[in-house]
Amino acid sequence: MSTSAQLFIVDVFTQHAFAGNPVAIVIPDIMPTDTRMQDFARWIGLPETVFVSPTTQDKRAAYSVRIWSPRRELPFAGHPSIGTAHLLLDHARIDVSHGRFIQACPAGLIDMRTEEIVGGKRRVWFTTPPATVQPLSDDDAEAILAALGPFAESSRVFMVEAGAKWLVLELPDVADIDRLAPVQDELDRLSRLHGVIGVTAIGKTRFDADTDYEVRSFAPSIGVPEDAVCGGGNACAAALRAWLNNWRPSSATQVASQGKHLGRSGRIFWKGPDVAHRVEIGGCAVIVSDGRVRL
């Protein structure tokens, strides 16, 4: 038996349509089965698809979400969370007290906030749980670097969990980011081996750039060979920078760019860490489509 649903496409980490990372957001009349949600996420083919429910088991949350990649459900993901919050705020579907609210998802309760920026635009932020960082062994790191191609030879690799779990590395030069040539099948295998979403690489930009880091994220294990602009990957990258700075307050407050290898120009804002080793990730979003779908 099919059910009707509202369907929105929201472009995330951009102020201009078609420059960020799209997410499909579904608000169904009746929540479909897990199988149906996965079928739809696979069919629509975007990096993530969100199913939103206005009801939650925990009354502290304003709404709850289920997030699906083309291959599997994700307990939490960053760009879908920002896109969903932007949509619900734009349609006045949630009550915001002092700019703060809570999203429920399988990973737990996620603190969110919104702020107005220049031009009347809205930037939405999520706060990660306390982050953990663990260096990989030399052998494991060598395998990851080999799967990224010949330009990632001299970096350490870290297992970072900050809501999502990613392998993260910082390359010596931003030009090395551009030259990455990942072997997707091998990255898929290694991501599954380590139980992570994928691999995020960052490089410090030039002194005259308008951002601090260039980012690329590869997640073939969830059906996304390269993510255009990745909230979870950036959260883990920010957490790594904080860890490398001994969790010094504000040491991870930076601006990152991502997406140029896919024809995008995303902007991701990092903030933190706080005393609990949490970071915030923020970005703008644009609603580019709305309609209905039968599930």
> What is the model's pLDDT at position 3?
83
Q: pLDDT tens digits, residue range 10-39?
A: 999 999 999 999 999 999 999 999 999 999
> Which pLDDT score, from 0 to 100, does residue 155 have?
83
112 and 139, same domain (yes or no):
no
* 112 and 18 co-located in one domain: yes
- 190 and 74 in a common domain: no
Task: Report pLDDT for 168.
Answer: 98
- Based on the fold, state whether residues 138 and 272 are members of the same structural domain: yes
Average pLDDT on 51-61 reads 91
Whether the per-residue pLDDT at 152 is higher than 80: the answer is no
Q: How many domains does the chain have?
A: 2
Given this model, what pLDDT does residue 1 score?
63
Q: For residue range 68-126, list pLDDT tens digits in order.
A: 999 999 999 999 999 999 999 999 898 887 899 999 999 999 999 999 998 889 999 99
* Same domain flag for 123 and 141: no
Tell me the pLDDT band of 172, cut-offs 50, 70 and 90: confident
CATH code of the domain covering residue 170: 3.10.310.10
Instruction: Say if residue 85 is in the same domain as residue 27.
Output: yes
Output 247 or 56, whichever has higher pLDDT: 247
Question: Tens of pLDDT along 188-235?
Answer: 999 999 999 999 999 999 877 899 999 999 999 999 999 999 999 999
User: What's the pLDDT band for 143 if we cut at 50, 70, 90?
Assistant: very high
Q: What pLDDT is recorded for position 226?
A: 98
Q: Which domain holds residue 37?
A: 4-127+283-294
Verify that 266 and 137 share a domain, yes or no. yes
Mean of pLDDT values over 158-162: 98
* Average pLDDT of every residue of the chain: 95
DSSP annotation string for the chain? ---EEEEEEEEES-SSTTSSEEEEEEEESS---HHHHHHHHHHH--S-EEEEES--SSTT-SEEEEEE-SSSEES--HHHHHHHHHHHHHTT-S--BTTEEEEEETTEEEEEEEEE-GGG-EEEEEEPPPPEEEEPPHHHHHHHHHHT-TT--S--EEEEEESEEEEEEEESSHHHHHT----HHHHHHHHHHHT-S-EEEEEEPPTTSSSSEEEEEEEGGGTEEEESS-HHHHHHHHHHHHHHTTT-TTTT--EEEE-GGGT--EEEEEE---TTS--EEEE-EEEEEEEEEE-
Residues 25 and 117 in one domain: yes
If asked whether residues 111 and 147 sit together in one domain, one would say: no
* 147 and 83 belong to one structural domain: no
For residues 206 and 79, membership in a common domain is answered with: no
Residues 61 and 140 in one domain: no
